[in-house]
Amino acid sequence: MAFPFWRIYHNRTKGARIIFDGIETELTEDKIIVIPPNTSYSNNLITKDARIKTESIEGEMVKDINDIAHCINNGSFDHLFVHFNLGMPYDYVKPGVYVIDNNAYFADLLERIEMNCIHGGDTIDFRASMNIHILILSVLTEMPGELWMRLDMDKRILSCQQYVQNNLQTDLSNSMLASLAFIATNSFSRLFRENTGESVQQFVMKSRIENARLLMHHSDKSIDLIASECGFCSRHHFSKAFKKTLGMSPGYYKQNVTLK
């Protein structure tokens, strides 16, 4: 899988929340959550027992259907996630956290996928793979029309975004990117914000952090190597930016948020 990537989330147990743009969305059995690439959000996994003030996000693989019942009983959360790419230009849509109702059709698909995760070990067979693809296509057809509005953005800005995400280790200053678009730096910065709603450097930083999260989820690379590959000059600079974005250090994220 490449960067950037989409996410589909589904929980059967209540309590976990995603926070985007100051709004909390609870993950529950009757909802499917879809998060496009380049969406800066955080998880707020709050214990169900209000008397317990500590928060835990440590996770492990669900290996038995009874594990879900155990989650319900001990105040933890089950969590199904699917990461995928659509490719250019569909990975550059409007960021956000989108909620889709989990109807009978989706519920059947999710149950098939979940059962394969529980009984299939570390492998996904052909039928389960097809169910995952069907789920992806089905939820995308339910997404609101305004999600795709950014596909009409200036093609120079789209090309710039793609260049950034393919060259995170290089110099990504406003002047350098403006030269690639053959636009004066100030005009380029203004055009970028008009098309995306954010500054060039906000997009660069978000892209670097997002790619770091991808590597933490899907590789065994060290934090130092991830920092370097994502364009940070040092681990200290990476840790500072990561904590500012997600509210936790990269070491804590890698150890506790990613699956063991």
Q: Which pLDDT does position 12 carry in this prediction?
A: 84
Of 83-92, 119-128, 197-206, 215-224, the range with the lowest mean pLDDT is 119-128
99 pairs with which residues across the strands?
Answer: 33
Residues ≥6 apart with Cβ < 8 Å to 237: 227
**Confidence tier at 200 by pLDDT (50, 70, 90):** very high
Predicted TM-score of the model (pTM): 0.68
CB neighbours of residue 67 within 10 Å = 14
Selected from 3.30.70.980, 1.10.3210.10, 1.10.3470.10, 1.10.10.60, the CATH number assigned to the domain covering 153-257 reads 1.10.10.60
User: Of the ranges 40-49, 98-107, 149-158, which one carries the lowest mean pLDDT score?
Assistant: 40-49
pLDDT at 219 over 90: no
Q: Tokens representing 166?
A: 């393919």
In this predicted structure, what is the pLDDT of residue 230?
94
pLDDT category of residue 253 using cuts at 50, 70 and 90? confident
Tell me which of 44-48, 77-81, 90-94, 147-151 is least confident: 44-48
For residue 39, name the pLDDT band (cuts at 50, 70, 90).
Answer: confident
Q: Which of 58, 67, 90 is nearest to 12 (CA)?
A: 67
- Integer Cα distance of 42 and 31 in angstroms: 18
Helices (H) and strands (E) in the chain, counts: 10, 7
Helix (H, G, I), strand (E, B) or coil at 218: helix
Greatest CA span in the chain, whole angstroms?
Answer: 61
Q: Is there a common fold for 6-149 and 153-257?
A: no
Instruction: State the residue for tokens 């995308």.
Output: 140
Higher pLDDT, residue 146 or 179: 179
pLDDT band at 56 (very low <50, low <70, confident <90, very high): very low
Q: How confident is the model at residue 44 (pLDDT cuts 50, 70, 90)?
A: low
- HSE value, Cβ hemisphere, 13 Å, CA-based, for 189: 10
Q: Inform me whether the pLDDT recorded for 180 exceeds 80.
A: yes
**Mean pLDDT within 223-244:** 93
pLDDT tens-digit readout, 71-126 = 666 666 778 889 898 877 788 788 889 999 999 999 999 988 888 877 766 667 78
Give pairs for 187-196: CB < 8 Å, separation 24+: 191/154, 191/156, 191/157, 192/157, 192/160, 195/150, 195/153, 195/154, 195/157, 196/150, 196/153, 196/157, 196/161
Q: Can you give the pLDDT at residue 92?
A: 76
The region of weakest confidence among 164-173, 183-192, 232-241, 243-252 is 243-252
- For the chain, the structural domain boundaries read 6-149, 153-257
Using the predicted structure, report yes or no on whether residue 13 has a pLDDT greater than 60: yes
Q: Is 173 helix (H, G, I), strand (E, B) or coil?
A: coil
Does residue 48 surpass a pLDDT of 50? no
Average pLDDT for 20-49: 78
Contact 227, 169 (CB under 8 A): no
Q: What confidence score (pLDDT) does residue 45 get?
A: 47
> What number of other Cβ atoms are within 10 A of residue 27's Cβ?
24
CA distance 42 to 242: 12
Given the candidates 1.20.1740, 2.30.30, 3.30.70, 2.60.120, the CATH classification of the domain at 6-149 is 2.60.120
Positive or negative, the CA dihedral 158, 159, 165, 170 is negative
